[in-house]
Amino acid sequence: MPDEAAIQSRIHEATDEMTVPPRPELGEIEQRVIRRARIRRIEFGGVTASLVCIAVLAILIARPSFGSDPGLDVAATDTAPSSTTNGTQPAPPLPFPLDEGIEVGWLPQGYAIRLDERTNVPDRPIFTRDQAFTLNGLGLDEDSAPILIQVVEAPDVGDPSGDPQPSEVGNGTIYVDGPFSTGGEMPGASRVEFHVGDDIEVVVMGNQLSTEEAIRIAESLQLDIPACIDAGQVSISNPACAAAKEWSPEDRGYPAAHETSTTALPSEPLDPDGRFPGSIHMPDGYRLSDMPARSSTVTYTVDPDITRQRAEAQQAIVDAEPEDRPRAQANYESIMTDTASSPTVTVDEWTVRLESNDDRSSLPALDLTITLGDIYAEPFLFDPAGDSRISHTIVRDGRTAMVADLSTLSYLAWQERPGLSVFVASDDGAPALVREVAESLSF
């Protein structure tokens, strides 16, 4: 049996045998620094501020009902009530600019932006990253059930002082301390994080907020920030500039917004704004660490020639020598522009994390991506005969599913019904587990 020296020796042998990837030129590293800095420069009222961290707080208080809609679709609703009731203030019109470049398009029923009592303008405190977010620090009553919307620099990019929670919580995302860390028991609290571009993180959280509401608020935000502008988009709900995940703060001792069943999740209609539209059964020893989170909505072209053309151009960037990379990049962008109007199909990607249901167990966590949509409309992607690495096919309910076990990617794909295809994949390998979970899915 190899001892420690033998283990170390084998790892050394392995690493010595590796081909070291070409080291980028210093100029390329500098360009990355510039690009990252550009993302962080956020325009406010014509004055550019280099911000390490920006937090925008929307404090929303109870207000009269505006009809039967459980929430308030701001853009389509008269938001100027003629009188106040129950002593609450009239709601200001929405979409309301919380700050230059950030607007909220939807709020749950009964909420409105709180005005500063002295200036009668919305509270717009701007925090730096080092400032603590505490309820008392914001001058809030803990029973006011505030909803907080923060736009911050993503904290997992690399803080030399070290992240406060370098843990695996939330699929590798590091969470800064929020009001949840200082308050008492907060049943129903939930928190949603959206990542915009590489570095900007948008957080919506509230202590009496459902996850669905938090997601809907987040998706209603209009962000006029460079990361989105660069992507040609201005809405956080647009997948080109945002990816979303949800998280319930149960790991801090608070009840989850949803009961995450270890056996099944409720089946619901396919709803792009709703929860996962199917049910999953967990393999032995595993439980869901979070509710499945819709991570993004992706649009693919349905023209196989264009798909191939784009993929080859994308691969050419990867394969290019450093000096040829700008030309390959330009070629790729040119192809994307030229083919922008080609027919497309839109699919939703959901992320699911399975983890051991026993803290003492050494079962590795498994991250899955489940893609739902009419993906069979894209024949190039789902042509088993066209991919020699499809290890086998299985037949499920009369339908054929492809199964692949690649070194870094296991996946299954099948057509559940016309218009709904399913693609289940994991970067973690684990083909047997992926298959077990995939076969347990029902819609």
Partner 1 sequence: MTESPAHSGFDEWFRAAWPDLTRSLTLTFRGNSELAAEAAAEACSVALAKWGEVGEFANPTGWAYTVALRAGRRIQRRSVLDRRLREKISATARGAADPPPAWVEIAEIIGDLPSRQRDVVVLRYVLQMTQRDIADVLGLAPGSVAASLNQARTRLRALLDPNPFDPSTNDEETTHAR
- Residue-wise DSSP of 197-220: TTTEEEEEEETT--HHHHHHHHHH
Beta-sheet strand order (sheet of 200-206): 147-153, 200-206, 190-196, 242-247
d(CA 353, CA 362): 16
Question: Rounded to the nearest whole angstrom, what is the least distance from the CB of residue 224 to partner 1 in the complex?
Answer: 23
Nearer to partner 1, 259 or 387 (CB): 387
Question: By C-beta, is 95 or 429 nearer to partner 1?
Answer: 429
Beta carbons within 10 angstroms of residue 139's beta carbon:
9
Minimum distance, C-beta of residue 369 to partner 1, in the bound complex (Å): 5
Q: Of the two residues 21 and 87, which places its CB atom closer to partner 1 in the complex?
A: 21
Q: Which residues of 125-134 are buried (b: 16+ CB within 10 A; e: fewer)?
A: eebeeeeebe
| DSSP one-letter code for 101 | T
CA distance 414 to 381: 12
C-alpha count within 13 angstroms, C-beta hemisphere, residue 43: 10
**Closer Cβ to partner 1, 121 or 311, answer by number:** 311
**Rounded Cα gap, residues 91 and 81, in angstroms:** 7
217 is written with which tokens? Answer: 């608020």
C-alpha to C-alpha distance for 117 and 112, rounded to whole angstroms:
14
Nearest distance in Å: CB 312, partner 1: 6
| C-beta of 115 vs 406, nearer to partner 1 | 406
Q: Could you tell me the end-to-end alpha-carbon distance of the chain, in angstroms, rounded to an integer? A: 48
Q: 271 vs 387, which CB is nearer to partner 1?
A: 387
Rounded Cα–Cα distance for residues 172 and 157 (Å): 11
Least distance in angstroms from the C-beta of 279 to partner 1 = 22
Q: Considering the complex, state which of residue 22 and residue 398 has its C-beta at the smaller distance from partner 1.
A: 22
Rounded to the nearest 5 degrees, what angle is found at the Cα of 30, between the Cα atoms of 25 and 32? 100
**By the 8 A CB rule, do 89 and 63 touch?**
yes
Least distance in angstroms from the C-beta of 342 to partner 1 = 15
Closest approach of Cβ 26 to partner 1, in Å? Answer: 6
